[in-house]
Amino acid sequence: MLAAVLRDYNQLSLEDLPMPEPGPGEALVRVHSCGFCATDYKAIKGIRRNVKFPLVPGHEPAGVVAAIGPHVSNFKVGDAVIIQPSGYCGLCHNCRLGLTHYCDNSYTTGGDGPEDVRPGSFAEYVVTGANTLYLKPETLSFDAACQCEPVSGAWKGIIHASEMQVGDDVVVIGTGSIGMYCLMVAKAAGAGRLIAVDVSDFALETAKKLGATHTVNPRSCDAQAVIQKILPNGPDLVIEAAGPIDAVKLMVRLLRRGTRWNIFGITTHEPFELDGGLMHFLEARMDASFGTNPLAMEKALRLMERGLVNPEPVISHRFPLSKIEDAVEVMGSPERNKVIINP
């Protein structure tokens, strides 16, 4: 099969690999669509350094079951499916608490986080545990369906972790694809004023079309001052979905009494300072969210199937796997939203 293999930082190449075979409890999926996440891009470019080589990136796939291993009864060959990239055992203490993303035996297909990183979905085929598969609704295209994982992450961060309430004034810092899904989930959940912050005017234009009541570009204004003018009493919830440490620092500067704030986008280990006494008196509540779990995946599927969150308008570029180098170049440009690979 054809796959994009990362042999070292900045060394991504197309290679012919042996066709994988599913083992007990596993399924082989023919990948139709896979989202290109910023964490994939960071791994390829060496921005993220927790990479074990060789790596087949890609962890936002949807496709069709091509083969099943022994003891698989919940799916059959020909089923159109969505893959949750974070695999779990279902038996350890954390799994039995419903915290499968904390699984003691966790693995990921093409992503990061666990020690066990398996080949991902920038490939024609991928093998994964059958318990990570979800039936694709017929109403969703494969390109839209493969975005279930990032949409589930947005739901998990905004609704499950930070407990957004109807009418909350929400600031989303960073409106790449994941920030855009955060914005759309917040809109669907009844946000009052919804402010999108990004250094790309291209992204902000899309955010405005998808429900942002205000947009702010820190490169053309004092973002903190502009947001404080829009929200004199401060935001109820701030989501950092950008990645750079400057986005986290802006989030901290926006805090007021009772603000909930979620460190969602940054995955690199960079410090920032907090005033302990100020945090005490503000009662600002910090949350964070990484990965996904079956609850979040099911919630995301419901949002997408019912049309409350539609990933299609967020997709700006599509590339066949054979043009993966062109996709990497576009990922480094501010003139894009979600990039999809179609193996």
pLDDT tier for residue 216 given thresholds of 50, 70 and 90: very high
pTM over 0.85: yes
Q: How many residues does the chain have?
A: 343
Of residues 308, 34, 36, the one with CA closest to residue 159: 308
3 state SS of 343: coil
pLDDT in tens, 275-324: 999 999 999 999 999 999 999 999 999 999 999 999 999 999 999 999 99
pLDDT in tens, 46-73: 998 889 999 999 999 999 999 999 999 9
Structure tokens at 44: 């390829």
Q: How far apart are the first and last CA of the chain?
A: 10
Asked if residues 210 and 234 have their Cβ atoms less than 8 Å apart, the reply is no
pLDDT in tens, 243-289: 999 999 999 999 999 999 999 999 888 999 999 999 999 999 999 99
User: Long-range contacts: 72-75, Cβ < 8 Å, 24+?
Assistant: 72/22, 72/25, 72/26, 72/27, 72/130, 74/130, 74/131, 74/133, 75/27, 75/130, 75/133, 75/135
Task: Write down all domains in the chain, each with its CATH number in brackets.
Answer: 2-147+311-342 (3.90.180.10), 151-288 (3.40.50.720)
pLDDT in tens, 5-43: 999 999 999 999 999 999 999 999 999 999 999 999 999
